[in-house]
Structures are given as structure tokens and as C-alpha cells.
Structure 1
Amino acid sequence: MPVKKRSGSEAEFPWWLVAAAGLGAYFLYRIVTDDLAAQVLVTVSRGIQVTLMVSVLGFAMAAVLGFLLALALVSRWRVLRQLARFYVEILRGVPVLVLLLYVAFVAAPGLVGAMNWVRGGLGLPEMGVRDFPLVWRAIFALTLGYSAFLAEVFRAGLQAVDAGQIEAAKALGLSGWQRMRLVIFPQAFRTILPPLGNDFVAIVKDSSLVSVLGVGDVTQLGKVTAAANFRYFETYNIVALIYLTLTISLSLILRRLERSLRDRAQ
């Protein structure tokens, strides 16, 4: 039996969102009526800024690097394609947590050592490992890890554009940059937006892993607070509530943007 497709105006009412909002309101009520829980919320909420900074900067840098990698993956030069494929497959095969630890405690000290060797040759004072903040080590690790995934997203979107339109753009005398800016990328963007949105939500959740480095995000402040007051149930409920609020809000915004682009295309 064929399934009837719903238009944007005929979409199902989001009962799941009503249920989630009701559950969130219940927990929020429990928090504001409990002095200790309210204090925990204030303390843990201070990490939201760090969580968002790590997520946004990591995703933005990963998107730029991933797009460059995607261009290399579809390049006519075999060496460039193979180098990009090597990077993508290796980085996709390493867990984000392992990558965070490797960048923080192996790559960062090695980079500082290399920079000190150069600075020593120039007669400049040496840098210390602490001059490379842990939060930036975490951002670079997320950038490296997610750039490999975003490269595949961009590659699939670029290759989904009809070859006939690219040939037509060439026939009109458009340069490679003009073809990419005016023809290829606008069409590819509609294809890659949903997976890009999913990866952005995923990096917000994976940003909680930076707590293993002692970065003061929501998870780290939750761990410290729970260790101090022994109220693990309330503290981690608040941590979960903050992450759910962030991820569900982002998902709804991205879904609205996707629907708007789809309606505009029609």
C-alpha cells in the first residue's frame, strides 16, 4: 500500500515534543523548588559557554577542512585523491575520545617541541606546553575528527549535482570558482544540510568528552559538583536536561531551515 506523503502544512503534530517539554518542565519545577538543585543548576550552567564555544569553533573549522578534503576527494589528480582518502579513513577509524587524548598529550607537546626548536634557532625564548591551552587542544581534536566525516558529506553532495548542469556552466564560460559558487554548491547545499545538521548536533554531544581533559564544560562542572555534594541523581539529571535542551533546540531550528529551503526550491 503506497504511503501518502505529507506536505509541510500537513506535517504530524509533534506530540513527542509536547511530551519532552512536559518532562523538562517537571524536572525544572523540581529544580527550582530545591535550593541545592537550583544551586547546582547555576553552577553547571556556567559551562554552557565553553560547551558552545568548543562545539561551534570545532564544527566551523571541521567544515572548512572537510570541504577542502572533499574537493581533494573529487579532484582529477590521483595523488591528491589518495592523500585525502588516507586522511579520511584514518581519522574516521579513531574514536573521538582517543583522538582527544592523542592530540592533547602527544601531538600538542610534539608541536610545542617543534616550535621551540624553531624559536631556538631564531634566538627566541622557549614556549611551555601550558602555553597551548587544553580547550584549544580539545577544539583541534574535534576539528580533525569531524573533518573526516564532513569530508564524506561534502563529497556526496558535490557528486550528487547533475553533470549536465556542470557541462552547461562550462559552455557558458564560467570559471571553476564561478561554477562552484553559482551552480554546484547551491544545489549541493540542499543535499548536505540534513547530514550537516546531524553532525552539528553530534559534535555538541561529543563535546562532553573534553571533560576528560579537565576543560570546564557542562559535563566537567557536573562531575566536580557531584563529587562535592554527593547528589549524583540531581546533578546528572540537570546535566542531561541542559544537553537535551541544546540538542533538541538545534534539531528543531535545523529542521525548520531544511523545510524552508525545500519549500523555496519547490
Structure 2
Amino acid sequence: MITLFMNNWQTYLTGFWNTILCSVLALIFSLVIGSAFAIMEILPNKVLRIIAHIYIEIFRNIPLLVIAMFFYIVIPQYVMKMDGFTAGTIGLTLYTSSFIAETVRAGIQAVDSGQMEGARANGLTYWQAMRYIVLPQAYKLVIPPLGNQFINLVKNSSVLAFLAGFDLMYQGQSVASTTFQTFSAYIIVGIFYLIITLPLSYYMRYLEKKMV
């Protein structure tokens, strides 16, 4: 296995970098988009609530691979050219954001309503109160489920392998098909995923304890 890695380390590191890049981009944008739709879900405006509900239900209930393939195959035919990495990252972002939206919404609703009322009574606007008072407390409450979503996001980035996204899984398949050492090739891929997910898991646990 060591020999296999040494002979193909550049291939694996390319996949490792692409997986990290995809995961970081999807994590940032899915957190922003998910938080926005979570807020929309609790607004008094019925139209915005319906829009948020439709968005969440669509992307939460369609398989990630279907969403990613839509951006990889359909969008280039009718809208614009898109490579596998971009299509996969967009699909992963939209898919994950729907779950994050529900997680953050639950966190917002768990914050005592008096926090918002007190902030408004002290002269803050609704959005200022949400940004500085409610959301920080909501994120604190949902650190464990958010951490799980982030770890799932990293693992779900393997969808890029189906789109020629040159991620870890894609490169592992490439090595396995050329060397015929399938077992070792995929063991190395699994180790690389652990290198990403284990530190993230431990950090989220540390953050959870620190916030208590």
C-alpha cells in the first residue's frame, strides 16, 4: 500500500486538494444560504416563508447525485458551460444548505423570544437583533448537529467522482483502474477522508464544550 501511494502520491494529493476546496466552498456558502432560508422560515411575511419552505423541501428530498447531475448535464445544455467540479460544488452547496436551514431554524426557535423583544426594546432593528443577539445564541445551541452536517458535507463531496470532478474518490478510482490494486487504492482514499473529518469532528466537540 505504501508503494502504491508513493507511486501515485501526486494523483492522491490533487484529489485531496480538490476535496478540501470543494468542501470549504460548499461549507461557507451552504451555511450562508441555509441561515438565510432559516430566517425566512420564521419571518411574518407569508410569501417568504412559502419560498423558503419550497426551497428546503425540494433540495432536502432530492438525492444529491440527481442535483449534481442536473448542473453537470442539463445546465450546460441550456444555460452555460460548467465543469464537474463546479457542478458538484453547487449541487453539494444547495443540498447541504437545505439541511442547515432546518437546523438553524430549530436553533432560532429555541432561543427565548424575550431576547428578540428585549433587543427591539433597546432600539435595535429586527435584523440587528437577529444578527447580534438571536443568531449567535442559535448557532451555539446547534453546534452538534451543524458539526454533523459539516462532516457529512465532506463525505458527500465524493459525488464529484461521478462528474469527473477530480476529487479524492475520482483519483482513487483512477489509481485502482490503472494499477488493479483496488483494495489498497480505496484504503488510501479512506485514510485521506479521515485526515479531513477526524480533526473537524474533534474541533466541533471542543467548540461545543467551550460554548457550554
Q: By how many angstroms is 1:193 displaced?
A: 1.6
Shift in alpha-carbon separation, 1:52–1:77, aligned structure 2, 3 A: same
Letter in 1 for 2:204: L
In the alignment of these two chains, the number of paired residues is 212
Question: 2:69·2:87 contact (CA, 8 Å) conserved in 1?
Answer: no
Q: TM-score, normalised by structure 1?
A: 0.76
Aligned counterpart, 2:6: 38
1:212 maps to which residue? Answer: 162
Q: Residue 65 of structure 1 corresponds to which residue in structure 2?
A: 33
C-alpha distance in structure 2 between counterparts of 1:136 and 1:157, whole Å = 31
Tell me which structure has the larger Cα radius of gyration. 1
Q: Select which of 48, 53, 57 maps to 1:80.
A: 48
Partner residue in 2 for 1:194: 144
- Relative distance call for 1:247 and 1:64 in structure 2 (3 A) is same
Q: Which moved more, 1:189-198 or 1:212-221?
A: 189-198
Q: Where has structure 1 moved over 4 Å in runs of 4 or more?
A: none
Q: CA deviation at 1:242?
A: 1.1
- Equivalent pair of 2:4/2:184 in contact (CA under 8 Å): no
Return the offset for 1:108. Answer: 3.7
Determine the structure 1 residue equivalent to 2:84: 134
Query: What is the correspondence of 1:85-234 to structure 2 with a 5 Å cutoff?
Result: 85-112=53-80, 129=81, 132-234=82-184
Determine the C-alpha separation between the residues in 1 that align with 2:131 and 2:36.
14
Segments of 5+ residues of structure 2 without an aligned counterpart are: none
CA deviation vs aligned residue, 1:204-241 (integer Å, no higher than 9, x gap): 00001111011111111110111001011111111111
Structure 1: which 5+ residue stretches go unaligned?
Answer: 1-30, 113-128
TM-score, normalised to structure 2's length? Answer: 0.94
CA distance in 2, matches of 1:55, 1:108: 23
**How much has 1:90 moved relative to structure 2?**
1.2
Post-superposition shift, 1:41? 4.3
